[in-house]
Amino acid sequence: MSKFWSPIVSRLTPYTPGEQPKISKLVKLNTNENPYGPSPKAIAAMAQEIGDNLRLYPNPDAEPLKLAIAKRHGLSPSQVFVGNGSDEVLAHAFQALLKHGAPILFPDITYSFYPTYASLYEVEYRAVPLAEDFTIRVDDYLGQGEAIGGIIFPNPNAPTGCLLALDEVERLLAGNPDRVVIVDEAYIDFGGDSAIDLVTRHPNLLVVQTLSKSRSLAGLRVGFAVGHADLISALERVKNSFNSYPLDRIAIAGATAAMEDDAHFDRTRNAVIASRSKLADELASLGFEVLPSAANFVFARHPQHDAAGLAASLRGDGIIVRHFTSARINQFLRITVGTDEACGALTDSLRKHLA
């Protein structure tokens, strides 16, 4: 800290990202990356873009990508916003849509970037407790009018993996017509129904998705939001006041091809879903309580074994998982669904340490 820092920066507790280890032979099950590679068509499109084209600025509206996303969901490109990872899309949304001088609501166990953005952009918030079974209780969010600045939650939630059914999402939207509701669907492709289908009926809905997980492009940093054109133009205003080029040429080419490759998308996400089910069964047979997951990770605790100790033992065997320190979830491990081989290495190591 120094006297040159602004008061906001001095007060800020930055988001702590999951570890990106330097040792490559670790079994890395800690940051919810896809164990399979991206679409070969995306790799080819990116390779083609590398060359003399990089001399030129990219398309300032990332038009080909917006078109591909709009086409996939039967929308118009004016209903699509793109950014450098969904983290950046969410950051712009906090400024453009959630800052109204009233507290916003999000679940008390949720993506830990939300409180960070709230303090960075000076948006007050109220964290709403989850139910005993770790699900979101929609009734706690209803009828708030303009007394709140908006609502944001991940669906499936992170780090629990629990899904809120689409009719419940719609009840939450209908109960808050005066404020924007942001549904952060980073993991939706692994088992839930997307709220994108509700965008046309609910002008207060912004759905945010990412190509980091189900499209296996975490390293490319591409995310997007879909909503009424009025919401999208608010995001564009903030973005244009920050950086007039949302994505580089390589990202536009790769992300567009990835969005168009349905066959690769279906094959890899189905493989992850099948491995998740095997992993959850194996963990249950080792005595873990495993929350029902609609994501590419599972959240599990062992009634007799300390989670920090288990995470350390796994690490000793070259396997990394995520462990959180906040009170209600500090006995859980969040384990990314890897290949069956990686999940097998994890359960073998746990079996040894639980014995």
Give the residue, chosen from 218, 238, 271, 354, that forms a contact with ligand PMP under the rule CB under 6 A.
218
Considering the complex, state which of residue 123 and residue 350 has its C-beta at the smaller distance from ligand PMP.
Answer: 123
Considering the complex, state which of residue 86 and residue 347 has its C-beta at the smaller distance from ligand PMP.
Answer: 86
Considering the complex, state which of residue 184 and residue 261 has its C-beta at the smaller distance from ligand PMP.
Answer: 184
Going 205 to 126 to 308 to 316, the CA torsion angle's sign is: positive
Considering the complex, state which of residue 106 and residue 288 has its C-beta at the smaller distance from ligand PMP.
Answer: 106
3-state secondary structure of 322: strand
CA torsion 172-163-190-299 (nearest 10°) is 140
In angstroms, what is the minimal distance from the CB of 297 to ligand PMP?
Answer: 9
What is the distance between the terminal CA atoms of the chain, rounded to a whole angstrom?
Answer: 47
| Cβ contact 107:130 at 8 Å | yes
Site for ligand PMP in 172-201 (CB under 6 A): 184, 186
| Burial class of residue 96, CB neighbours in 10 A (0-12, 13-18, 19+) | buried
Give the residue, chosen from 87, 189, 248, 282, that forms a contact with ligand PMP under the rule CB under 6 A.
87
Give the residue, chosen from 109, 120, 158, 250, that forms a contact with ligand PMP under the rule CB under 6 A.
158
Site for ligand PMP in 105-134 (CB under 6 A): 111
Going 180 to 110 to 239 to 255, the CA torsion angle's sign is: negative
| Cβ contact 84:211 at 8 Å | no
| Cβ contact 214:190 at 8 Å | yes
Considering the rule CB under 6 A, would residue 86 count as an interface residue with ligand PMP? yes
Considering the complex, state which of residue 102 and residue 300 has its C-beta at the smaller distance from ligand PMP.
Answer: 300
Determine how many CB atoms are found less than 10 A away from the CB of residue 147.
10
Of the listed pieces 79-87, 194-202, 282-290, 329-337, which binds ligand PMP according to CB under 6 A? 79-87
Going 67 to 71 to 77 to 81, the CA torsion angle's sign is: negative
Considering the complex, state which of residue 222 and residue 319 has its C-beta at the smaller distance from ligand PMP.
Answer: 222
CA torsion 43-49-51-55 (nearest 10°) is -140
Distance between CA 7 and CA 2 in Å, rounded?
Answer: 10
Burial 98-136 (b: 16+ CB within 10 A, else e): bbbebbbbbbebbbebbbbbbbbeebebebbebeeebbb
Considering the rule CB under 6 A, would residue 343 count as an interface residue with ligand PMP? no
Binding mask 135-154 toward ligand PMP (x if CB under 6 A, else -) reads -------------------x
Give the residue, chosen from 30, 210, 216, 349, that forms a contact with ligand PMP under the rule CB under 6 A.
210
Of the listed pieces 44-52, 68-76, 210-218, 277-285, which binds ligand PMP according to CB under 6 A? 210-218
Binding mask 261-290 toward ligand PMP (x if CB under 6 A, else -) reads ------------------------------
Task: Retrieve residue 183's tokens.
Answer: 């549904």
Considering the rule CB under 6 A, would residue 85 count as an interface residue with ligand PMP? yes
In angstroms, what is the minimal distance from the CB of 337 to ligand PMP?
Answer: 14
Query: Where along the sequence are the contacts to ligand PMP (CB under 6 A)?
Result: 85-87, 111, 154, 158, 184, 186, 210, 212, 218, 223
